[in-house]
Chain A
């Protein structure tokens, strides 16, 4: 199957021609399949935020190409604009982009820009609000009267309402409390299961996304350092730590247990998996003479 979105040798220079010139990303070859859930990790300044802004054409690469369904997204202005709606991008702290009088109008901003009719807009706004758990009665309130967590949900709904084929979220849980974090991730996963879209989650915290993603891409100094399923990536805990990233604690525990001689699988990196593996092992041991 052809990837839904991919990049070829992407390179981006910031502040070209000034003393502040620096390479943000260089030689990025990335591709995502339809329906995949991908986690992008890397510490601050690793180029991950710059990278995702290329995927919907907000930033133009200094060199290299971005392909959506095999088509260059910078082929013409019309194509770029079209791709904006197909590749939804939720920025970091998206609550600061809210501006309308009511929550409803704010969520409707994207669909209205798509020139959909009133009825379609209404369906999408209500649908998106439901996905992120924003109650019906909040829709007529001013977005500025909501709590921080609710504002974040409204902002995410504003992008979901465009029903993009690829949904990219930059640190969607930054600054939220643990329960808020979990519920936003759950909401995103529910949206994924319902629509079958591709999800790209950007974060610097492994714990948070390890459970939910199919694939992890590690960014370091503007390049892709690792790309693989989480269990593969977590095996390189030394290298990850060297670039300022941590691996889930459970994965460290599992590794230590392996060193102590327990036949624990490499794919153990969440509490549930560890519990299952350890119980299975004990059951196996009890069954033996």
Chain B
């Protein structure tokens, strides 16, 4: 049940996407998102779909798994689609009561939904193929120029990796406490909003207490291993850019360039 929450979860594998440097993947994801927002018409969207499909196939992650990440946002996607469908001006092709559907509306709704779904799928592909540690290492390395401006890059990266590291732990913990309270007859599934909120107390209180306990234990464990910030810290797995990373980046840049051209000529 809760175990299936896949947000920020890493799926180990040995595809070329898995092996890319995390910095490459981060930059590529940004390029992908920019390119996605530049898409304006059939051909540009088609190109983005092909690119995404190719990445998914190469990553060897099952489409079903990636689509599951979209599921929690389905309501937002539907609302966005409906708003675009009804509130786009143009030639009405269907009219009833106060609603008016236009051809432009349909087109925009479809494009908008495509854009959101592809945005989610693309970013999920990043987190599915990159371990949280590699991801924050990459981020720290990419942001390191900001250190000159006294921006706490290392601290931020450490906080992020701890947060990411504890998501599965907390999910598991939630699962366990939920089971324990269910074993004592707690009911999380039925009742009105107020009853449900109240039913969550036996879950939230132990969860908070254990989160604080964990934070405390982690701090002690880090200090007893002499952790005192990023100064002079070396990495066990230093990041190295390889030929495949440069090739991937060039391809990414090429995609962006093509999308810019398509955007200018509105195709």
Contacts and interface: CB of A to CB of B under 8 A. Distances in A.
Contacts of A90: 183
The 9 lowest CB-CB distance pairs between A and B, nearest first, are A113-B185, A99-B205, A110-B184, A97-B180, A89-B183, A91-B180, A99-B202, A58-B179, A99-B206
A114 B180 CA distance: 15
Interface in B199-218: 201-202, 205-206, 209-210
A94 interface: yes
A254 to B, nearest CB: 39
A81 interface: yes
Nearest to A107: B184
Interface in B141-182: 176-177, 179-182
Contacts of B111: none
Interface stretch (A13-21, A36-44, A205-213): A13-21
B51 interface: no
Given A17-B64, A53-B179, A97-B206, A159 B184 contact: yes
Contacts of A98: 206
Given A15-B4, A18-B11, A81-B185, A109 B180 contact: no
A19 B65 CA distance: 9
B206 A158 contact: no
- Which of A19, A88, A114: most chain B Cβ within 10 A? A19
Instruction: Tell me the interface secondary structure of chain A in the complex.
Output: mixed
Interface string A148-169: 0000000000110010000000
A160 B4 CA distance: 32
A97 B11 CA distance: 30
Given A19-B11, A109-B202, A144-B209, A97 B185 contact: no
- B-side interface mostly: helix
Contacts of B182: 58, 84
B234 to A, nearest CB: 32
A97 B13 contact: no
Interface of B: 3-4, 11-13, 62, 64-65, 176-177, 179-187, 201-202, 205-206, 209-210
B186 A113 contact: yes
A20 B3 CA distance: 11
A18 B185 contact: no
By size class, the interface of chain A is 20 to 34
Interface in A197-232: none
Interface in A1-59: 14-15, 17-20, 53, 56, 58
A220 to B, nearest CB: 24
Contact of A97 (B4, B64, B65, B181): B181
B11 A84 contact: no
B227 to A, nearest CB: 26
26 contacts: A14-B3, A15-B4, A17-B65, A18-B65, A19-B13, A58-B183, A84-B183, A84-B184, A91-B180, A91-B183, A94-B180, A96-B177, A96-B180, A96-B209, A97-B180, A97-B184, A97-B202, A98-B206, A99-B206, A109-B181, A109-B184, A109-B185, A109-B202, A113-B185, A159-B183, A162-B184
A97 B187 contact: no
A66 to B, nearest CB: 15
Nearest to B11: A19
A114 B185 contact: yes
B57 to A, nearest CB: 16
Given A14-B3, A89-B183, A99-B206, 19 more contacts: A15-B4, A18-B62, A18-B65, A19-B13, A20-B11, A58-B179, A85-B185, A89-B180, A96-B177, A96-B206, A96-B209, A97-B177, A97-B180, A97-B181, A97-B202, A99-B205, A113-B186, A158-B184, A162-B184
A18 to B, nearest CB: 6
A89 to B, nearest CB: 4
Contacts of B202: 97, 99, 109
A60 B181 CA distance: 17
A98 B206 CA distance: 6
A56 B182 CA distance: 10
